[in-house]
Amino acid sequence: MKRLANAIKYIIVITLAILWIAPVILVLMNSTKSIGDFMNGSMWAWPKSFHFFQNVEEALNAGKLTKYVKNSFTYGIVGASASILISAFAAYGLVVLRLKGSFYWFLLIYSGTIFPFQMYLVPLFSGFQKAGIYDTFFGMCLFYTAICIPFCVFLLRNFMTTISREYVEAAQLDGYSTLAILFRIIFPFLVPPISVLFLFQFTFIWNDLIFGLILTRSDDIRPIMSGLAAMQGTYISTGITTLMAGILVTSIPTLILFFALQKNFIKGMQITVKS
């Protein structure tokens, strides 16, 4: 019975792995085809010629992919970094400084994750237009920073509760200021969870489609996913292979970020689960 149970588990895992890998293989195969190969054969057919670099070049130039990548990279770096810094200050005030009513302040901040994002679309669109920040770099950076803060506060607050109070008290006895305690005592402990948060928030911003469509309209401001959606509308009848190549190119930054932060990411995930 035990062998049968293990065999069933392996079959389920292998099946799920195949289902997950199949779309990736499909994109890889079709991104290397010429448009003629794609239109005249099955999408599961093996490529008859190798046109991957030509498709990438077309996506970067005619598809304006370079501009979209630059925009999303800016939003991801600014939004993730600013939200983590602001959340670190907030979590420090809630946990270490023990502000009056800190738990209720935490609930108020965390409530930003409770409601579906679709509820924000109309108020955001209207508010951005009235404030004059619709379709601007500042408006997009401001939005991505704000929307990432609740989850960052949640994670950093939970982690800071695991840091011994003795470190803070010892630093206070040594004459450290409030900010010095945060940056010189607390922040070194936060490197692993910050790595997890940065990867999560950067990936969330990079993969965002709905807000990019609603809050932008010009190619100079549009993020990568809404840019790919625009490419699909432009190239769906004549260059689906270009779109496939563009999808592959846009997945590279998040993969690079994951491997760059892999050591701290794994450690941070272990600490996060324990906390």
- Residue 151 is encoded by which pair of tokens? 């989850």
Has residue 37 been placed in a domain?
Answer: no
Interval 212-257: pLDDT, tens: 999 998 888 999 988 888 776 654 444 788 888 888 888 888 888 8
Strands (E), the chain: none
Interval 130-162: pLDDT, tens: 999 999 999 999 999 999 999 999 989 988 888
The count of structural domains within the chain is: 1
Report which of 186, 155, 181, 178 is spatially closest to residue 80, judged by C-alpha positions: 155
Q: Which domain holds residue 222?
A: 64-274
The angle formed by the CA atoms of residues 36, 39 and 42, to the nearest 5 degrees, is: 115
Contacts of 125 (CB under 8 A, 6+ apart): 134, 214, 215
Has residue 247 been placed in a domain?
Answer: yes
Has residue 146 been placed in a domain?
Answer: yes
**Contact between residue 79 and residue 145 where contact means Cβ atoms under 8 Å apart:** yes
Has residue 87 been placed in a domain?
Answer: yes
Report which of 224, 226, 230 is spatially closest to residue 213, judged by C-alpha positions: 226
Has residue 50 been placed in a domain?
Answer: no
| One pLDDT digit (tens) per residue for the chain, 275 residues | 678 778 888 899 999 988 888 888 888 888 888 877 777 777 777 888 788 888 888 877 765 788 888 999 999 999 999 999 999 999 999 988 888 888 888 888 888 788 888 888 889 999 999 999 999 999 999 999 999 999 999 989 988 888 888 888 888 888 888 888 888 888 888 888 898 899 899 999 999 989 999 999 888 899 998 888 877 665 444 478 888 888 888 888 888 888 877 776 565 555 555 55
Whole-angstrom distance, CA of residue 103 vs CA of residue 128: 31
Has residue 187 been placed in a domain?
Answer: yes
At residue 261, the 3 state secondary structure works out as coil
Q: Within a 13 Å sphere around the CA of 192, how many CA atoms are in the beta-carbon half?
A: 14
Q: Kindly state the greatest CA–CA separation across the chain.
A: 77
Has residue 15 been placed in a domain?
Answer: no
CATH of residue 132: 1.10.3720.10
Q: What is the separation of C-alpha 166 from the centre of its chain, rounded to a whole number of angstroms?
A: 35
Helix (H) or strand (E) holding 166: helix 165-173
Has residue 112 been placed in a domain?
Answer: yes
